[in-house]
């Protein structure tokens, strides 16, 4: 370890690793943005990274000059990233980005690292800054790439997609023609109906779930009755039963009673999956509320139900909001039951509608446009109410 804690060892090693990360990232970003041939060269990245590490610990001016040199050399074809036949602007942009992010990032990472032996603190902080930068890049990339592909594919047409699968640049001159897949989905595939169905079903599910889970959670959290502990545990157990186990009996029973292929049946069965989750989340929250306030209410002559209505629920509003959001999300995203129980296209939910697009006759930009239509509302809701959502998720919601 002591060997590593020399400025002349730490800086080049971190520099080499950082340059590999940056050149790979920039190559992927540029390929996805322009469709042109960019690729990182691991050997050259390591070499330039080592030199950059040495340059950075010799002072800011040397480092900046070195950065410009790397950019220029990259343009000539021997930099950390190699570009094939690309235009002038993408080439300058790409190599500039590699040199800039590489050297400036390294300057931040190696802040305080000198030429001589390093203390343990300086060394570990530099390593942690490197890992932080890498973590940000890595996680952002893996989260964004599938969604980026989803949105961009939905805006293209079949021949463009087959010609160059990497080219996600958008031809803005087409104007509204870009949204043709969406237009066709709403006109020819009834996606407007699916959207309304999904929304109605989710909202009803939220209300039904709250109607049952609020009193249930209150009972488990506050009242003393025989078998309370067993009841509390069985909620957790039911909560863990996978839907596929229940799917068969539900399918048979619904077929026999004629509830299959009806919105009523779906509205009846969705709360079955969400009530245990809501019960579990709410009882945890109710337990955290001070019981003295409720006891004071009881002393003043309110009935138990009035106490719940006038005291507990107003206090639990944030929890109710996050539970509602979470239940809405489960109902909106539910796939298995909708897939099994619905056959009639006029009653499809969005998820069921998308799965009906998955056939070889329907072009895949339609499939992706459907996916975008299903994703955007829940994302918007989630980003708008993120505070409640993150709280709700950690408040014991582990279903999924």
Partner 1 sequence: MRGLYLFPYVAPVIAVAFSWLILFDPFSGSANALLVQMGMTDSAINFFGERPLALIMVTVFEIWRYFPLSFLFILARMQSIDSDMYEAADMDGASPFQKFWYLSLPQLLGILSVLFLLRFIWTFNKFDDIFLLTGGNAGTRTLTVDVYEQAFAISNIGAGAAVAVIIFSCLLFFSFFFLKYVSREEGL
Site for partner 1 in 93-122 (CB under 8 A): 120-121
Residue 201 lies near partner 1 (rule: CB under 8 A): no
Query: Should residue 146 be labelled a site residue for partner 1 when binding is judged by CB under 8 A?
Result: yes
Contact between 19 and partner 1 by CB under 8 A: the answer reads no
Nearer to partner 1, 67 or 392 (CB): 392
243 binds partner 1 (CB under 8 A): yes
Positions in 282-341 near partner 1 (CB under 8 A): 329, 332-333, 335-336, 340
Residue position matching structure tokens 């109410």: 385
The contact mask relative to partner 1 for 338-367 (x = CB under 8 A, - = no) is --x---------xx--xx--x-----x--x
Under the binding rule (CB under 8 A), the answer on residue 272 touching partner 1 is: no
Retrieve residue 210's tokens. Answer: 């709250």
How many residues touch partner 1 under the rule CB under 8 A: the total is: 77
SS (H, E, C) the chain: CCCCCEHHHHHHHHHHHHHHHHHHHHHHHHHHHHCCCEEECHHHHHHHHHHHHHHHCCCHHHHHHHHHHHHHHHHHCCCCEEECCCCHHHHHHHHHHHHHHHHHHHHHHCCCCCCCECCHHHHHHHHHHHHHHHHHHHHHHHHHHHHHHHHHHHCCCHHHHHHCCCCCCCCHHHHHHHHHHHHHHHHHCCHHHHHHHHHHHHHHHHHHHHHHHHHHHHHHHHCCCCCHHHHHHHHHHHHHCCHHHHHHHHHHHHHHHCCCCCHHHHHHHHHHHHHHHHHHHHHHHHHHCCHHHHHHHHHCCCCHHHHHHHHHHHHCHHHHHHHHHHHHHHHHHCCHHHHHHCCCHHHCCHHHHHHHHCCCCCCHHHHHHHHHHHHHHHHHHHHHCHHHHHHHHHCCCCCC
Task: Name 44's Cβ contacts closer than 8 Å, sequence gap at least 6.
Answer: 78, 79, 80, 82
Nearest to 189 by CA among 378, 335, 363: 363
Residue number, 121 or 300, with CB nearest to partner 1: 121
Does position 252 interact with partner 1 (CB under 8 A)? The reply is yes
Shortest distance, position 72 Cβ to partner 1, whole Å: 23
Interface pick for partner 1 out of 240, 264, 305, 306 (rule CB under 8 A): 240
Interface with partner 1 (CB under 8 A), residue from 29, 107, 149, 203: 149
Stretch of residues binding partner 1 (CB under 8 A), selected from 48-56, 243-251, 260-268, 316-324? 243-251
Binding positions for partner 1, 163-192, rule CB under 8 A: 164-166, 168
- The yes or no reply on residue 247 touching partner 1 (CB under 8 A) is yes
Q: Does 125 bind partner 1 (CB under 8 A)?
A: yes
* Closest CB 59 distance from partner 1, rounded Å: 26
| Closer residue to partner 1, CB minimum distance, 54 or 213 | 213
Q: Does 261 bind partner 1 (CB under 8 A)?
A: no
Closest to partner 1 by CB, 146 vs 175, is 146
Site for partner 1 in 24-53 (CB under 8 A): 27-28, 31-32, 37-40
Candidate residues 3, 175, 176, 242; the one interacting with partner 1 per rule CB under 8 A: 242
Instruction: Give me the least distance between CB of 358 and partner 1, in Å please.
Output: 7
- Compare residues 261 and 355 and give the one whose CB is closer to partner 1: 355
Find the shortest distance in angstroms from Cβ 306 to partner 1: 29
């Amino acid at each position: 370890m002591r060997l590593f804690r020399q400025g002349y060892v730490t800086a080049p090693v971190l520099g080499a690793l950082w340059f590999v990360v940056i050149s790979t990232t920039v190559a992927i970003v540029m390929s996805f943005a322009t469709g042109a041939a960019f690729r990182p060269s691991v050997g050259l990245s390591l070499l330039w990274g080592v030199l950059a590490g040495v340059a950075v610990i010799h002072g800011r001016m040397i480092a900046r000059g070195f950065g410009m040199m790397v950019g220029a050399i990259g343009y000539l074809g021997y930099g950390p990233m190699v570009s094939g036949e690309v235009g002038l602007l993408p080439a300058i942009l790409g190599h500039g980005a590699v040199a800039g992010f590489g050297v400036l990032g390294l300057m931040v990472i190696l802040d305080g690292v000198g030429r001589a032996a390093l203390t343990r603190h300086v060394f570990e902080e530099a390593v942690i800054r490197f890992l932080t930068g890498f973590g940000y890049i890595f996680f952002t990339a893996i989260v964004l790439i599938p969604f980026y592909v989803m949105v961009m594919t939905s805006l293209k047409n079949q021949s463009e997609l087959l010609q160059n699968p990497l080219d996600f640049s958008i031809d803005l001159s087409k104007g509204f023609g870009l949204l043709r897949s969406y237009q066709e989905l709403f006109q020819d595939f009834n996606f407007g109906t699916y959207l309304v169905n999904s929304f109605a079903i989710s909202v009803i599910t939220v209300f039904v779930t709250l109607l049952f889970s609020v009193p249930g959670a209150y009972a488990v959290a506050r009242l003393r009755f025989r078998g309370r502990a067993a009841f509390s545990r069985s909620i957790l157990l039911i909560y863990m039963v996978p839907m596929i186990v229940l799917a068969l009996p539900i399918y048979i029973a619904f077929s026999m009673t004629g509830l299959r292929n009806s919105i009523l049946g779906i509205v009846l069965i969705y709360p079955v999956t969400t009530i245990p989750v809501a019960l579990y989340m709410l009882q945890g929250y109710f337990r955290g509320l001070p019981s003295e306030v409720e006891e004071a209410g009881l002393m003043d002559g309110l009935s138990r139900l009035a106490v719940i209505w006038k005291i507990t629920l107003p206090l639990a509003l944030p929890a109710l909001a996050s539970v509602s959001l979470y239940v809405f999300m489960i109902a909106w995203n539910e796939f298995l039951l909708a897939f099994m129980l619905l056959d009639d296209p006029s009653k499809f939910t969005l998820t069921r509608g998308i799965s009906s697009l998955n056939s070889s006759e329907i072009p895949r930009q339609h499939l992706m446009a459907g996916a975008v239509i299903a994703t955007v509302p829940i994302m918007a809701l989630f980003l708008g109410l993120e505070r409640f959502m993150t709280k709700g998720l950690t408040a014991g919601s582990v279903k999924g």
